Amino acid sequence: MQHPAVPDLSHTHTRPIHWVATATALAAVVALSSVLQPDAATAAQTPGAEPRNAPAHIAPPDPAAVVFPLECGPVKAVVQKKATGDLDGDGRPETVAVVHCDAPMGTPPDGVYVLTRGTDDAKPRVVATLVNPADRRTATALAVRGGEVHATLLGYSSADVPSCCPDVTDDVKWQWKNGAFVRDTPSQARTV
C-alpha cells in the first residue's frame, strides 16, 4: 500500500525561539487585559427592591438544631439534603431540609420541611411541611431558586407498587403566597 506524498514542512518544526516568542506574546496579552478593564456597571437599581437571596450576615437556620416531626423509633432522623434562601421576601434566610429516619434497611420516605428562626435569632423551628413522610415520597433533588423551592420527588402510582421500586417522578416547586406555601407541578408526573 502506498502512502500519498507529503511535502516536507520544515517550517513546522518548533525551535526554542518559537516558544520564547509564544510566551512573550501570551504575557503581553495577559498584561494588556489587566490594564483594559470594562467600566463599572451603571444600571439603575429599583428603589426598595431587595434581592431574594439572603444577606450574607444572617445565618440560615441549622437543621442540626431542630427536632423534626418524625416518628423514628430507636433510630434517629437524618438530614439528607438542605437548601437555603429567602422564601418569604423578609430578607432573612430560611432552610429547606429533606429528612428521613435512619433505617438500617430499605429506603425510608422523606419529609421536606421549611425551617426559620424568629426575629430575635431564636432557636430554629419547623414552620411548614412540604412533603409528609406518610406520602411515601423520596426527594432526589432539592434547590432554592428565586424564592421558590424546587424538588424532584419519586413516588408510587398505587399502593400495590413495592417500596423498593418507585414508578412515578414529579418535578415540583413551592412558592410563598398569601401566608402559605403553594405547590405547583410544572411538568406532568412521569412514570419511570
Tell me, what's the pLDDT at 6? 41
Please choose, from the candidates 181, 73, 186, the residue with its C-alpha nearest in 3D space to the C-alpha of residue 132.
Answer: 181
Q: Which residue has the higher pLDDT, 146 or 19?
A: 146
Q: Which pLDDT score is estimated for 177? A: 93
Which band of pLDDT confidence, cut at 50, 70 and 90, is reported for residue 23? low
- Say whether pLDDT at 182 is over 90: yes
Q: What is the pLDDT of residues 31-71, one digit of tens each?
A: 444 444 444 333 333 333 344 444 457 889 999 999 999 99
Q: How far apart are CA 10 and CA 21, in angstroms?
A: 18
pLDDT of residue 181: 95
Helices (H), the chain: 16-35
Q: What is the pLDDT of residue 107?
A: 80
CA dihedral (108, 109, 112, 117) in degrees, to 10, reads -40
Alpha-carbon gap, residue 135 to 126, rounded angstroms: 18
Q: What is the mean pLDDT of residues 94-112?
A: 91
> How high is the pLDDT of residue 121?
65
pLDDT higher than threshold 90 for residue 172: yes
Beta carbons within 8 Å of 192's beta carbon, 6+ residues apart: 154, 166, 167, 168, 169
Amino acid 174: pLDDT:
97
Q: Percent of the chain having pLDDT more than 70?
A: 65
Mean pLDDT over 89-101 rounds to 94
pLDDT at residue 144 tops 90: yes
pTM of the predicted protein model: 0.67
